[in-house]
Structures are given as C-alpha cells and as structure tokens.
C-alpha cells in the first residue's frame, strides 16, 4: 500500500523577476516499509522534494497524499499538526535540543503536541533508546554523545510518534564512513521492523545499497528509479 503519493509536483520559486523551477512534474510513490534513496547533486531539488513530502513546503502544482491525508492545500497550522502526528524527521546536524537529555529529546515530540505523556511515554522513550543501543545513554545531554549516538537519538525521536513516513536529510554527512554505515544499517533495521516508509536524501552513493530503491533527481526532474536492494 502507498504511504506517500506525490503526483505531478511543480515547485516554482520567484527570485526577483526570474522564476526558478525547483521541481518539474515530479511524481513518486513510496510504499509501507519501503526505503527510497533520493540521490542528486546540490541544487537538484532534492531538498525541495523532501520538504514537500514532509509538509514543510506546499507545492505550486500537483497533489501530495501522505497516509491518506491530502496535504496539498493545508494551511501552515494544519501542516504543523500534520507533521507532529504523521512524519518523522532526521536532519543533517542541527537535530537535538542541546539542553535536553537523550530521553527528553524523544519526549519533546509529545511535549510539543501538548500531551503530558507521563509514565507511558517515558517507558516508550526508554525502550526505543534501548532498541537503538542507547540504553546506557538516556540521561546524557547531546554534548556528551558522539556524532553517531546523536543521530541514533534523532532516529529515536523520528520514530517516537509511530509515523507512517520518516524523512532523512543527509543523515550521515557529518559522520565518518564507518559510523555512517552503522547508522544506515540501523535505519534499515528499524524501518523494516516497523514497516515504516522512508526517504533518505544523500549524495553519497556508498549509502544507496541500504535502500530498496534509488531515485535520481537532476534539475528538478526524477528518473523512474532503480531497484537497489
């Protein structure tokens, strides 16, 4: 079943008198449990695509349906709520709240939704962190964690609300190759275990074999995609 269904997406930015087409009739579907790698040079439009898929931007044209919600016409407030409940994000480096412990960085998702969470949420955060191999790090602040550990906490946060779709923006760019591979391995395991759909933006071809499919993007246009795993 399709979790993300983007059809004929066009995104045009206006810069002075010139229209810049960031995405041109892009169409992509991602199914349950499917991991798609989005590969392209900088400026190709992969950031824009990811932003639209996650409800951070609205498209100029086309429709976006995530988990049955058509978010193409959502206003900012609806999008905020949509993101909180349906999408998980893992960013490049600015990811965690620096003054919160690993555990609290997961609970922040609940806090932002105005839920008081309580014991149940705390238990879920702990078991998630343990699952990610961070059982001994729950009370540590981000500053006390290594780069790889920080990305693992970020993955935990992205999964905390059981989203249908998780979006990864260059999750390994700040890591060395070995740690990067460990993180990719973990992402794959977690996504598959939860049957969650994922898009991973990367420019590192060494990471693409962790995905089920690789989609190339050049100048705002997508190719059909190649099955990689």
- Is there a contact between 26 and 220 (Cβ–Cβ < 8 Å)? yes
Of 16 and 98, CB closest to other proteins? 98
Dihedral angle sign, alpha carbons of residues 198, 75, 63, 60: negative
Smallest distance from the beta carbon of 209 to other proteins, in angstroms? 23
Smallest distance from the beta carbon of 8 to other proteins, in angstroms? 21
Smallest distance from the beta carbon of 77 to other proteins, in angstroms? 7
Smallest distance from the beta carbon of 110 to other proteins, in angstroms? 8
Q: Return all residues near 30 (Cβ < 8 A) that are at least 6 apart.
A: 2, 3, 4, 36, 165, 197, 198, 199
Of 33 and 91, CB closest to other proteins? 91
Smallest distance from the beta carbon of 123 to other proteins, in angstroms? 15
Question: Which strand (E) or helix (H) includes residue 151?
Answer: helix 147-159
- Binding residues for other proteins (CB under 8 A): 47, 50-51, 54, 56-57, 77, 80-81, 83-85, 88-89, 91-100, 104, 107-109, 111-113, 117, 141-143, 150, 157, 169, 173-174
Of 85 and 181, CB closest to other proteins? 85
Helix, strand and coil content of the chain, in percent to the nearest 5, comes to: 40, 30, 35
Of 113 and 123, CB closest to other proteins? 113
- Is there a contact between 66 and 55 (Cβ–Cβ < 8 Å)? yes
State the maximum Cα–Cα separation within the chain, in Å, rounded to a whole number. Answer: 55
Of 93 and 182, CB closest to other proteins? 93
Of 119 and 224, CB closest to other proteins? 119
Smallest distance from the beta carbon of 149 to other proteins, in angstroms? 11
């Amino acid at each position: 079943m399709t979790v993300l269904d983007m059809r004929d997406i066009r995104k045009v930015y206006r810069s002075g008198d010139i229209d810049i087409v960031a995405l041109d009739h892009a169409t992509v579907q991602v199914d349950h449990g499917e991991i798609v790698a989005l590969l392209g040079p900088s400026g190709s439009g992969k950031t824009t695509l990811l932003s639209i898929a996650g409800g951070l931007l609205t498209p100029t044209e086309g429709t976006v349906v995530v988990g049955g919600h058509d978010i193409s016409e959502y206003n900012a407030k609806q999008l905020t709520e949509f993101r909180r409940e349906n999408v998980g994000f893992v960013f490049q480096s600015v990811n965690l709240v620096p003054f919160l412990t690993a555990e609290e960085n997961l609970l922040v998702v609940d806090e932002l939704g105005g839920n008081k969470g309580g014991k149940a949420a705390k238990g879920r955060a702990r078991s998630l962190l343990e699952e990610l191999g961070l059982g001994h790090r729950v009370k540590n602040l981000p500053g006390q964690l290594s780069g790889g550990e920080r990305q693992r906490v970020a993955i935990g946060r992205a999964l905390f609300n059981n989203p249908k779709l998780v979006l990864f923006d260059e999750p390994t760019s700040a890591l060395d190759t070995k740690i990067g591979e460990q993180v990719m391995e973990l992402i794959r395991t977690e996504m598959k275990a939860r049957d969650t759909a994922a898009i991973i933006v990367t420019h590192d071809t060494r990471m693409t074999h962790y995905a089920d499919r690789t989609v190339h993007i050049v100048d705002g246009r997508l190719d059909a995609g190649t099955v990689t795993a």
